[in-house]
């Protein structure tokens, strides 16, 4: 594995480590293509600002820092400036515009909440039992893929559904089918593996294998050592083998500029 486009930093307030330490650790471990994908700032009406991520006023600093490192490490490692962003129907255009303004070169889709957070959006990793919530998660991810701006879907199996297994499979298959149709890769997430979270979900990857969805890897580093984690990589490879996944390796970055919405 010589790439990783899923990296956070101290800037999101729930990760640690400065950018340069992530770069050093990546180079040391043979990463040649690296992307920073800080959580995209999110503002809502009435002065609401999400505390799951950096505030808007600090996003430019993040952009400047990555651009500086990009120059400094040129020839050693290819660094890209990106964001991990939700698909929120009412805020999508605004968020995309802002991402472009901050200089983003790519975006990954991480649907951490079902709804815009000022609406009290439920975190996707909490326990869900209602089919309507499952449907909403799937619909957000599918609509996000259809915008054509996302390079891949981060942890598509983050949604923690404890309801009926058949319902789960039926709905999640929609994501896998669309991923194949639109050629938007699905990420096996190393953070979930490393911390033994509820994902990767076997049922999900079984379906992805059946549908031939393109699959890639992402570290989802929230600390420096997470920017390359050998044990997680080994486990991810096993998953690829087990479900005969269509592993594509390094994803092709989707350009987000010049898109008209």
Instruction: List contacts with Zn ion (CB under 5 A).
Output: 8, 84, 220
Sequence-ordered strand ranges (E) for 74-116: 78-85, 106-109
Nearer to Zn ion, 12 or 209 (CB): 12
Backbone φ and ψ of 241, nearest 5°: -70, -45
Nearer to Zn ion, 84 or 211 (CB): 84
Planar angle of CA 129, 135, 138, nearest 5 degrees? 115
Please tell me the distance from the alpha carbon of residue 136 to that of residue 254, in angstroms, as a whole number: 25
4, 188 Cβ separation under 8 angstroms: no
Residue 124 CB, shortest distance to Zn ion, in Å, is: 12
Q: Tell me the residue number closest to Zn ion, measured at CB.
A: 220
Nearer to Zn ion, 107 or 178 (CB): 107
Backbone φ and ψ of 138, nearest 5°: -65, -40
Residue 86 CB, shortest distance to Zn ion, in Å, is: 11
Residues β-bridged to residue 35: 80
Please tell me the distance from the alpha carbon of residue 131 to that of residue 214, in angstroms, as a whole number: 26
Helix (H) or strand (E) holding 3: strand 3-4
Nearer to Zn ion, 113 or 209 (CB): 113
- Of the candidates 194, 222, 208, which has an alpha carbon nearest to the alpha carbon of residue 152? 208
Nearer to Zn ion, 59 or 206 (CB): 59
Residue 210 CB, shortest distance to Zn ion, in Å, is: 26
- Of the candidates 238, 251, 240, 252, which has an alpha carbon nearest to the alpha carbon of residue 212? 240
Residue 243 CB, shortest distance to Zn ion, in Å, is: 23
Pair of tokens at residue 161: 């559904």
Residue 37 CB, shortest distance to Zn ion, in Å, is: 6
Nearer to Zn ion, 171 or 187 (CB): 187
């Amino acid at each position: 594995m010589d790439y990783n486009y899923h990296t956070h930093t101290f800037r999101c307030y729930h990760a640690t480590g400065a950018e340069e330490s992530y770069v050093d650790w990546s180079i040391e471990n043979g990463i040649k293509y690296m992307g920073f994908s800080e959580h995209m700032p999110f503002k809502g009406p009435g002065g609401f600002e999400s505390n799951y991520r950096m505030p808007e006023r600090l996003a430019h600093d993040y952009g400047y820092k990555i651009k500086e490192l990009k120059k400094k490490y040129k020839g050693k490692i290819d660094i890209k400036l990106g964001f991990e962003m939700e698909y929120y129907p009412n805020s999508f255009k605004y968020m995309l515009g802002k991402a472009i303004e901050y200089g983003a070169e790519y975006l990954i889709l991480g649907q951490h909440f079902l709804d815009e957070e000022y609406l009290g959006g439920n975190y996707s990793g909490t326990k869900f039992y209602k089919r309507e919530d499952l449907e909403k998660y799937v619909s957000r991810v599918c609509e996000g893929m259809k915008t054509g701006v996302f390079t891949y879907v981060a942890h598509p199996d983050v949604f923690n559904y404890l309801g009926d297994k058949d319902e789960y499979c039926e709905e999640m298959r929609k994501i896998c089918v669309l991923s194949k149709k639109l050629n938007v890769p699905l990420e096996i997430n190393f953070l979930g593996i490393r911390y033994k979270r509820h994902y990767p979900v076997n049922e999900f990857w079984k379906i992805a294998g059946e549908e031939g969805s393109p699959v890639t890897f992402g570290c989802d580093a929230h600390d420096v050592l997470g920017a390359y984690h050998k044990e997680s990589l080994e486990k991810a490879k096993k998953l690829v083998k087990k479900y005969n996944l269509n592993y594509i390796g390094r994803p092709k970055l989707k350009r987000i500029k010049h898109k008209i919405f």
